[in-house]
Amino acid sequence: MAQERCGLLTLNGIKSAGLRNQFSDFYESMFKGRKFSKEISFLREEFIRFGNTKWGQSTIGFKDAKGLLADEKRFISKAEYARLYRLTHPKIEKMIEDGILVQRELKIGARTMRIIDTQKTQSPSESKGLLSGRQAASQLGLPLSVLQHLRETKVFHTRFRRGYESSWHIDDVELFLERGISLASIGELDTNLTTLEAAMRFKFKDAKTKADIVTAIFDGRLTPVGRLGSKLGSLLVDKVQLEDFALKKRSALNGNTYTLEQVSQLTGIYMMAVESAVDAGLLIGNTYDGNIRVPVISVELFNQSYIPLSKIAEKLGSLAQHLWRTCRTNHIEIISLQYKNGLGKQPILSKRDEQNLIEIYNQKVNEQAPKAKECPSYETIFQNYLFALDESNEYLPCLAGAPNKAAIAETCGFHRDVFYKNEAVKNLLESFIARHQDQTSTRPLTDIEGLNKFLDSLKKEQVQLLLTSSGRINKQGIAKAAGISRKVFDRHPDAMRLVNEFIESTTQVKP
């Protein structure tokens, strides 16, 4: 009577799972004790192949299997499979549990024999070779401890290959790298971005949290915006997004609480005023190991109910002091948090009054806007000033041969910083100087030009240059006689060159 068990037809009453024993009468009559048994050895091999691939209800004995290649055997024991692919017994059991290996059972009398059906089992993938753990980590641009955790959590996918489970296969590393760098194209680093390699240097209690950052990039919780190279460590992420993610991770590691510094970052309360917020009941503070920590839920409730005026001011392009004055004028209630050092206060506004304050501020700005339009721009003021100079055939006020920007700005009624920050004004100044470059009759001489003119006059009068008693050049005396700044000898290499050429040309000697 036949029974079906675990997908394999099991015959009651047979005494062996071996192919030769199951077909003992046929085998012995055909292949044993016959004079021409050697001549029909090919039939014996075909019989063995039939039992191996077609019959499916028996194993092939060691002697009979000599003519088969190792990977030609359909049914082999777990021990033989482990030796063939260098796998441990626990790994074999796990593969059977995961369905990678198909196990069948043969009932031989009262005994059940478990074997691996290689025809129904996934074959191991080929491997280009092995890497050490450090080599794999270096190739990916990640710490080894992080990479190991990624493999344990199946983020780093591995295929079934020959070799030990702990091996790092080149194929797996290359596939993981290709999967990672395909998330972003080549980009450039700026102040708002940081690399994954830099994020891996964050200080956490264990490698698991760092691995979670990598996992978040792969599952979309963190979005890479570019990459600098061909390694995962070169992936670029937004600093604010990364810091927010890291902050939440650190909070989770500490019982879902934040440090005072983290609270300051999340709420906008100045660090010097966070403890005052706790004292005022705006935040809940608990002491852990002598340090005050604030629960996550408390920070979330604060952000839902309150907002520092500094945050609103930043959004409106104003100052917190101006908004505070507006609140006092319009009787909007403000909570003042005293600084820890007692030297100041930070204003906090209730969220319900935020929109009202913004509307009052915008209305005030709109009322003042027409007046602001009546004032000419810096560009117009400076352009009119230069036009007046041209009309009167005058040059810019100078100091040590260069335009005196402080004096010019004072005349125009704006700060000298306008010449550095306003591109239009800066271009007008450069254009004016270039136009008058050769008009020495209206333009004051530069220090170099003044020195050169002074030396030319000495040559014409055949007067030697005064030196010190030790024969050195008297820079202070020359500058005074030429009417230039003494600093020209420190700032302009040409100044000393002109003096040396004068001394050589006049064959001047030490007095």
What span, in angstroms and rounded, lies between the C-alpha atoms of 166 and 158? 11
Backbone φ/ψ region at 442: left (φ over 0), alpha (ψ -120 to 50), beta: alpha
Tokens of 10: 């099991």
Q: Are 350 and 340 in contact (CB under 8 A)?
A: no
- Dig out the tokens for 284 from the structure: 């809940």
Rounded to whole angstroms, how far apart are CA atoms 164 and 155?
19
Tell me if 235 sits within 8 A of 183, measured CB to CB. yes
Q: What is the pTM of this model?
A: 0.41
Query: How far is it, in rounded angstroms, from Cα 63 to Cα 75?
Result: 15
pLDDT of residue 350: 92
Confirm if 385 and 411 have CB atoms less than 8 A apart.
yes
Q: How much is the pLDDT for 286? A: 79
Quick one: pLDDT at residue 7? 34
Looking at residue 70, its pLDDT comes to 46
Q: Give residue limits of the domains in the chain.
A: 2-117, 130-253, 257-374, 378-435, 447-505
Token couple for 375: 């004032």
Burial 372-397 (b: 16+ CB within 10 A, else e): eeeeeebeebbbebbeebeeeeebbe
pLDDT computed for residue 111 by the predictor: 66
Q: Which residues contact 218 (CB under 8 A, 6 or more apart)?
A: 155, 179, 180, 183
Calculate the alpha carbon distances from 202 to 209, 211, 218 in Å: 10, 11, 19
d(CA 382, CA 396): 12
DSSP string, 445-479: PPHHHHHHHHHHHHHHHT-PPPB-TTS-B-HHHHH
* Alpha-carbon gap, residue 450 to 479, rounded angstroms: 9
Q: Give the residue from 74, 80, 49 showing the smallest Cα distance to 64.
A: 49
Distance CA 127, CA 160 (A): 10
User: Residue 196, Cβ neighbours under 10 Å: how many?
Assistant: 24
CA distance 481 to 484: 8
- Other C-beta atoms within 10 Å of 505: how many? 10
What tens-digit pLDDT sequence spans the chain (511 residues)?
Answer: 333 333 333 444 445 556 666 777 676 666 665 555 566 666 766 776 676 666 656 655 545 554 444 455 667 777 777 777 777 777 778 778 777 777 777 665 566 667 777 767 666 667 777 888 899 889 899 999 999 888 888 888 877 666 556 678 888 888 999 998 899 889 888 888 999 988 888 777 678 878 888 998 998 888 898 999 889 989 999 988 888 887 777 666 566 788 888 888 889 899 899 889 888 888 888 777 677 888 888 888 999 999 999 999 888 888 888 899 999 999 999 999 998 888 888 999 999 999 999 999 888 888 776 654 566 788 888 888 888 887 777 778 776 556 778 888 888 888 888 888 888 888 888 888 888 766 555 556 677 777 777 787 877 777 777 677 777 778 888 877 777 777 777 777 777 888 888 877 776 544 4
